[in-house]
Amino acid sequence: MKLLDEDRLLPTEERPRRLARALYEQVRDLPIISPHGHTDPRWYAEDAAFPDPAQLIVTPDHYVFRMLVSQGISMTDLGVPRADGGPVETDGRKIWKLFAQNYHLFRGTPSRLWLDHSFQEVFGIDRRLNAETADWYYDHIADCLSKPEYRPRALFKRFNIEAIATTEAATDDLRWHKMIRDSGWDGRVVTAYRPDNVVDPEMAGFAENIMLMGEQTGFDTATWGGYLDAHRARRAFFKEYGATSSDHGHASARTENLPQDEAAALFQKALRGACTPAEADAFRGQMLTEMARMSIEDGLVLQIHPGSRRNHSGEVMAKFGRDKGFDIPGRTDYVTALKPMLDAVGMRPDLTVILFTLDETSYSRELAPLAGAYPSLRIGPAWWFYDSPEGMRRYREAVTETAGFYNTVGFNDDTRAFCSIPARHDVARRVDCAYLANLVASGSLAEDEAGELAHDLAYGLAKSAYRL
C-alpha cells in the first residue's frame, strides 16, 4: 500500500490531469531553493543524529501539536517544554502513541500530506499511522534515525537542497554558520538578517540588545547615526555568511518616513524605554523604511511578514512561552501602511521588497494591485496557514490576474520541520502545475508558456528574487 497517490493534487479531470502531469514531470526533480525558513543551523553544523521520532516530528512542530491541543490533549502530555522547566512527558513512545491515536484529526490538512510524505518518501513506510501501527512506526523511524544516511547533511543532499536560508537575530554570533563554513562541507546554508530584537522597542531586552550591537560593531549605538551604522555592519557580517535577505515580522505593515531628527529623538525615547505603544509602533515603521534604504545600498532583499497576533493565549504564553501554535492572524492593511516607505523608495527598480500576508483578503484587493504597479514590490507565496493546497490555489487565483506570475517569488517552506521540506515543495509544485494546466485546458495559456512558468515557479523565481 502506498500512503501517497501518485497524482495527488493534480486536476481530477482527464485532460487537465494529463497536462499537469507533464508539467510536474518537468519540475518534480528540480533542486530545492528554500530562501526563507527556520531550520536550526546547528543541525548542519554538528550533523548529529536526530533524537527520537516524537522529538523529531511531534514536539517541536506547532502545526502538529496545536491540532492535538485543540481537541483537548495537554501540551505537557505531548512533551512540549514548560517555561518554568517543570516536568513534561519525556517518553517519546508515549507521546508518539498519543499522536498516532489522534492521527484522524489531521484528515484534510496539509500536515497530513507532509507527514505521509515524510513517512513514505523519507522513511519508506507503506502503512497508515494509527493506534495499531504506532509502535511499529516508532521502532521503524527510531531505527532509521540511528543510521548515518538519516543525519542532517545526508538528508540535505538526499532532499536535493541547492540552497537553504535560516533566520538569525541581528545580534546572533552565527557560530553554527561559521562552523558549517569551517567544516568545508559544501551544502549551501545561508543566514537571514532578522532584527526584530533591535528594532522593536516593546521586545524584552531591546536596549541591551542595541548595546550588544554596539559592542559587536564598534559603533556608538547610543546615537541614532551609530545605531544605523551598526545595522549596516551587522548586515555586512550576515552577508559574509551568505545572507541575501532581511526578515521583519511586525504585527502590522506600518511604515514611516520621519525626518531624521524626529527619528533620532524617537530612537532616544525608545532606548530609554519611554515610548508609548503608538511611538513604539512608529519606530518599528520607521525602521522598515531605514532597512529598505540599506537594502538599496547592500542588496539585501527586504521581507515583510505582518499580520500575526503573536502568543494569543495568555495562559499558553505564561506556561509554555512563544511559538506554541497560538499566533493568530488578524486583518492587515497594506495600502495605507506601506505608503510612507513606498513614497520614499517604492519606485526604485534596484530594491526588492517581498510582502507576505496572513489576511487572504489582501491578495486581490491590495497586494496584487501594489505589486502590479510598484517596481520594488513582489508578493511572497501563500504562507503559514495558507501553505496548503487550497491556500495556494486561492493565492494564484487571486493574485495572477492583476500581478501576473512575475511579481511573485516562487515558494518558501518557512519551516522548522526538516523532514517536511521536500513534502512542502512537492505540494507547491503540484498545485502550481495544476493551476497552469487548468489555464491551458481553458484556453488561457499556451502549453509552451506553461512549461516555462512551471520551471520559474518551482525554481527560477525563488532563485532570482532572493538573489541566490
Q: Which of 405, 360, 417 is CA-nearest to residue 152?
A: 417
| 65: amino acid identity, one letter | F
Report, in Å, the least distance between residue 9 CB and its own copies: 6
Report, in Å, the least distance between residue 425 CB and its own copies: 17
Say if CB 187 and CB 44 are below 8 A apart.
yes
Q: Which of 338, 335, 337, 317 is CA-nearest to residue 326?
A: 317
Angle between helices 421-441 and 110-117 (to 10 degrees): 120
Say if CB 418 and CB 164 are below 8 A apart.
no
Give just the sign of the alpha carbon dihedral 427, 429, 430, 436: positive
Report, in Å, the least distance between residue 35 CB and its own copies: 20
DSSP readout, 74-104? -TGGGTPPPTT-------HHHHHHHHHHTGG
Of 223 and 402, nearer to its own copies (C-beta) is: 402
Rounded to whole angstroms, how far apart are CA atoms 468 and 297?
18
Report, in Å, the least distance between residue 138 CB and its own copies: 22
Rounded to whole angstroms, how far apart are CA atoms 170 and 84?
27
Of 168 and 366, nearer to its own copies (C-beta) is: 366
Report, in Å, the least distance between residue 193 CB and its own copies: 24
CA 149 to chain centre: 26
Report, in Å, the least distance between residue 181 CB and its own copies: 34
Report, in Å, the least distance between residue 378 CB and its own copies: 9
Report, in Å, the least distance between residue 109 CB and its own copies: 5
323: alpha, beta or left, given left = phi > 0 and alpha = psi -120 to 50?
left
Report, in Å, the least distance between residue 120 CB and its own copies: 12
Report, in Å, the least distance between residue 23 CB and its own copies: 14
Of 16 and 41, nearer to its own copies (C-beta) is: 16
Of 180 and 292, nearer to its own copies (C-beta) is: 292
Of 208 and 447, nearer to its own copies (C-beta) is: 447
Of 69 and 98, nearer to its own copies (C-beta) is: 69
Say if CB 3 and CB 126 are below 8 A apart.
yes
Of 88 and 335, nearer to its own copies (C-beta) is: 335
Angle between helices 421-441 and 447-455 (to 10 degrees): 160
DSSP readout, 159-204? TTEEEEE--EETT---HHHHHHHHHT----EE--EE-HHHH-TTST
Of 45 and 338, nearer to its own copies (C-beta) is: 338
- Phi then psi dihedrals of residue 161, to 5 deg: -85, 120
Of 255 and 400, nearer to its own copies (C-beta) is: 400
The C-alpha cell at 295 is 537594502
Q: Which uninterrupted H or E stretch holds 371? A: helix 368-371
Q: Is 124 exposed, middle or buried (0-12, 13-18, 19+ CB in 10 A)?
A: exposed
Of 276 and 444, nearer to its own copies (C-beta) is: 444
